[in-house]
Structure 1
Amino acid sequence: MMLTVQEMSDRFEIQDLIVGYCYAVDSRDWDALDQYFTADAVIDYSEMVGVSGSLGEIKEFLASSLTPILAFQHSVSTTRYSIDGDRAQTKTVCTNPMTVSDGTRAETLVFGLWYIHDYVRTPAGWRISRLYEQKCYRMNVPDWLAAQLPA
């Protein structure tokens, strides 16, 4: 398959959105998320942590719920692209190790998931209009945290 210059540019711009999202979350820079999403974006973490909402709702959720997470590092790879004019969708592998603490001891766990993103081309460039996290696996999740997550 031979890509046009526009198709290559679209892929690079979209990849920058995926990576930018990960870096914003990993650095707890919730306001930085505004530059990656449309104003009416829907972010659906229901399979992973049981929450879905608007960008504003998700920013509040992340700020309040990630307190027991001492560190996390999203690593993304193997993105599959589907681009149709001014709309696009990707499916991307994400591995997310986290160090968590219940206040007495720290443990490291790993979430494996797929990011499924919908995009729209805007006058300011590509933006994420929908993010869905599809669960793949969880490793070493402490009981106190597993009790708070969807089955």
Structure 2
Amino acid sequence: MDARLQALLDKQDITDLVYAYCNASDRHDLDKLRQLYHPDATDDHGGFFKGLAMEFIDQLPQIQAPMEILHHNVTNINLALDGDYAEGEIYVLAFHRIRTDAEPMDLLIGGRYFDRYEKREGVWKYSARAVVADWATVNNPSTVQLDHPLVQGSHIGKPGLDDPSYDFFKLLKWGER
């Protein structure tokens, strides 16, 4: 029973790590993102980047600069554990609204993260991540209508500290996992 309970706790810690990655990416919270990877971790984002995760995070301000909206949604989480090592196939829907010279465009990607995790000093973090796109839908121009009357008066999410969540929450802080 103790091994099953530890496996459940480890899987929850890894699931929390996956969710923290989505939040940090969507809010452009690079401090939080750095906390999620081991210093020697790698990241393979296809055409955007392949190498050390910390170097990828260093390049994110330029990569994310034209992205007006980022919205990662995790669906299926498949995890396998072996002591302090784990692997995950994480299904994700990632929406991007991208500023262009003409009009903004939308990119919706259905894909998966191929992850490796290691528990070091009692903490699970990414040791490797690869992004796989299974499908994509592009709308050019964008079909997002945040100015539509049905949305008027709503709080609108934004990257960075201007996001309404930072004024609302006391426990979910910027730069913290």
TM-score using structure 1 length: 0.86
Mapped partners of 1:123, 1:141: distance in 2: 45
| Equivalent AA in structure 2 for residue 123 of structure 1 | E
* Equivalent position to 2:50, from 44, 49, 52: 52
The structure carrying a bigger strand percent of its residues is 1
Map Cα deviations across residues 14-65 of structure 1 (whole Å, 9 max, x no partner): 001111111111000112112111010001111xx34112122101221111
Q: 5+ unaligned residues in a row in structure 1: which ranges? A: 143-151
* Aligned-CA RMSD value: 1.7
State the percentage of identical aligned residues.
Answer: 23
**8 Å Cα contact 2:36/2:126 also seen in 1:** yes
Q: How does 1:107-126 map to 2 (within 5 A)?
A: 107-126=105-124
Moved >6 Å (runs of 4+): none
TM-score using structure 2 length: 0.74
- How many correspondences in the alignment? 139
Higher mean C-alpha deviation, range 97-106 or range 121-130? 97-106
| Equivalent AA in structure 1 for residue 45 of structure 2 | Y
For 1:31, the equivalent position in structure 2 comes to: 31
For 2:40, the equivalent position in structure 1 comes to: 40
Q: How does 1:26-105 map to 2 (within 5 A)?
A: 26-46=26-46, 49-105=47-103
Q: 5+ unaligned residues in a row in structure 2: which ranges? A: 141-177
- The structure-2 alpha-carbon separation of the partners of 1:35 and 1:50, relative to structure 1 and needing over 3 Å to count, comes to closer
| Equivalent AA in structure 2 for residue 8 of structure 1 | L
Q: Point out the structure with max Rg over C-alpha.
A: 2
Secondary structure of the residue aligned to 1:4 is helix
